[in-house]
């Protein structure tokens, strides 16, 4: 909390102070009632660390700065070496309290592109590969009997953000029109070969309180509704709505260029919208949304904690939306978020999130597009693939089957 590092908001937003009760108990004094605090406690931000190894007065950026030169925690592995953008080497933690991992050493390699990762898997260099493979790679590997395919429902979502305080999208009718023009099934087929799922709420499919309100309100490729909204806002084919649509070409994988192009085609289908595609690498991209320099831009979200609050308040509350470049602010919404946050009653929370999802189709601070599935490919001998809801890979569950 004192160091104010990158994930500190997940603590400082909820925790006022901490007390050591005894050798095995810590008390968290919260800033107020937090219905989903147990979900927060299960995230890496709250993992306990040994003060003998980790300094309390600075953020460690290199393993060599640590006592003993290794990252050691309470988990089944310790990080013995790390080369940024190249590889991380984990070795079984001899002090782990639980069952010893069946695989003593795990080497994680990082790849600059999906094609190289696929070739490394096919050549036998890798035992396992996952995340940001190209749709064509996924299709081919899924049909290859030399590999086992694991398809896991992903909590990862993609959506379109609009800057709502100063840009042309200050007019909510234009945000609604954009929502109506997007053709999700077309995007899923053309860009992802049917491997992901269309999303009609910021709360993912399969999560508690999810409702397909964007499908009910807008459908897909609803040119008639978009035309009505754009006309009411003063636009026409002779005077189209013109704006830049931003994307970042590397951060979300090789498909991002295709996604932006198909989305541009969807938005221009009415003849009343003119889109110019613009791109920036991730560091610049983040800087630009913080400076309100992008009126419309693609973004993605992996959950910080598994609760509908993390998929809604982060984008539609006054404070949360600032951090995502949306700058949406409405006291009614803020009051609803405060209500669900403070109340553990499932009926109350269901009522709130039902209302929030319905309100989202009117104000449209964000436009949900799709939800990603997670594909993991392994050699047939690799067993025990287990990934948690927040995409933490449980490497200690992996093992090699006897041939």
The structural domains of the chain, ordered by start, are: 1-61 (no CATH), 70-110 (no CATH), 153-373 (3.10.105.10)
On the question of pLDDT at 93 being above 80, the answer is yes
pTM of the prediction?
0.86
Residues 94-107 have pLDDT tens digits of 989 999 999 999 99
Note the pLDDT of residue 13. 84
What are the tokens at 303? 């959950």
Q: What is the pLDDT of residues 210-226, one digit of tens each?
A: 999 999 999 999 999 99
Instruction: Determine what percent of the chain is predicted with pLDDT higher than 90.
Output: 77
pLDDT over threshold 80, residue 6: no
pLDDT digits 0-9 by tens, 9-60: 788 889 999 999 998 899 999 999 999 999 899 888 888 877 777 877 887 7
Contact 301, 269 (CB under 8 A): no
Residue 146 has pLDDT above 90, yes or no: yes
Is the pLDDT at 242 greater than 90? The verdict is yes
**Residue 256 C-beta-side C-alpha neighbours within 13 Å:** 26
The predicted structure's pLDDT at residue 356 = 98
Between 186 and 47, residue with greater pLDDT: 186
Interatomic CA distance for residues 205 and 154, integer angstroms = 9
| HSE of 353, CA atoms in CB hemisphere, 13 A | 27
Q: How far is CA 51 from the centre of its chain?
A: 31
pLDDT at 51: 79
| pLDDT-based confidence at residue 253 (cuts at 50, 70, 90) | confident
The mean per-residue pLDDT over the stretch 184-207 comes to 96
Q: Please give the pLDDT value at position 5.
A: 66
How do residues 349-362 score in pLDDT, each as one tens digit? Answer: 999 999 999 999 99
Q: Is the pLDDT of residue 175 over 90?
A: yes
Average pLDDT of the chain to the nearest whole number? 93
Q: What would the pLDDT profile of 373-397 be if each residue is shown by its tens digit? A: 889 999 999 999 998 877 789 999 9
User: Stretch 263-273: mean pLDDT, rounded?
Assistant: 98
**Does the pLDDT of residue 304 top 80, yes or no?**
yes
CA 167 to chain centre: 25
Say which residue, 82 or 190, is predicted with more confidence.
Answer: 190
> What is the band of 7 on the pLDDT scale with cuts at 50, 70, 90?
low
Question: Which range, of 123-127, 379-383, 386-390, 398-402, averages the lowest pLDDT?
Answer: 386-390
The pLDDT value recorded for residue 70 is 65
């Amino acid at each position: 909390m004192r160091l104010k590092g990158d994930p500190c908001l997940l603590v400082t937003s909820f925790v006022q102070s901490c007390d050591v009760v005894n050798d095995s108990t810590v008390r968290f004094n919260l800033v107020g009632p937090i219905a989903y605090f147990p979900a927060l406690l299960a995230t890496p931000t709250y993992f306990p660390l040994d003060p003998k190894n980790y300094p309390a007065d600075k953020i460690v950026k290199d393993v060599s700065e640590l006592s003993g030169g290794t990252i050691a925690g309470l988990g089944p592995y310790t990080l013995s070496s790390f080369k940024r953008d190249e590889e991380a080497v984990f070795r079984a933690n001899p002090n782990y309290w639980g069952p010893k991992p069946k695989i003593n050493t795990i080497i994680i390699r990082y790849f600059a592109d999906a094609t190289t990762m696929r070739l490394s898997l096919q050549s036998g260099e890798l035992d396992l590969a996952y995340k940001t493979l190209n749709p064509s790679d996924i299709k081919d590997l899924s049909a290859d009997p030399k590999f086992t395919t694991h398809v896991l429902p992903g909590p990862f979502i993609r959506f379109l953000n609009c800057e709502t305080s100063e840009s042309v999208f200050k007019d909510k009718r234009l945000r609604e029109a954009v929502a109506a023009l997007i053709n999700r099934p077309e995007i899923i087929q053309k860009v992802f070969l049917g491997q992901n799922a269309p999303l009609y709420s910021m709360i993912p499919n399969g999560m508690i309180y999810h409702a397909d309100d964007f499908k009910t309100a807008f459908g897909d490729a609803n040119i008639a509704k978009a035309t009505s909204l754009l006309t009411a806002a003063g636009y026409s084919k002779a005077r189209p709505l013109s704006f830049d649509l931003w994307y970042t070409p590397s951060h979300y994988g090789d498909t991002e260029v295709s996604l932006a192009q198909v989305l541009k085609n969807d938005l221009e289908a009415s003849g009343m919208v003119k889109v110019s595609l613009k791109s920036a690498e991730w560091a610049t991209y983040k800087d630009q949304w913080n400076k309100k320099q992008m009126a419309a831009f693609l973004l993605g979200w992996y959950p910080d904690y598994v609760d509908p609050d993390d998929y809604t308040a982060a984008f539609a509350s006054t404070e949360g939306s600032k951090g995502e470049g949306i700058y949406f602010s409405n006291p009614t919404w803020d009051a609803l978020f405060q209500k669900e946050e403070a109340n553990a009653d499932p009926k109350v929370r269901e009522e709130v999130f039902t209302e929030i999802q319905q309100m989202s189709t009117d104000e449209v601070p964000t436009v949900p597009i799709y939800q990603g599935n997670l594909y993991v490919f392994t050699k047939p001998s690799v067993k025990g693939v287990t990934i948690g809801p927040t995409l933490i890979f449980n490497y200690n569950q992996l093992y090699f089957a006897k041939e």
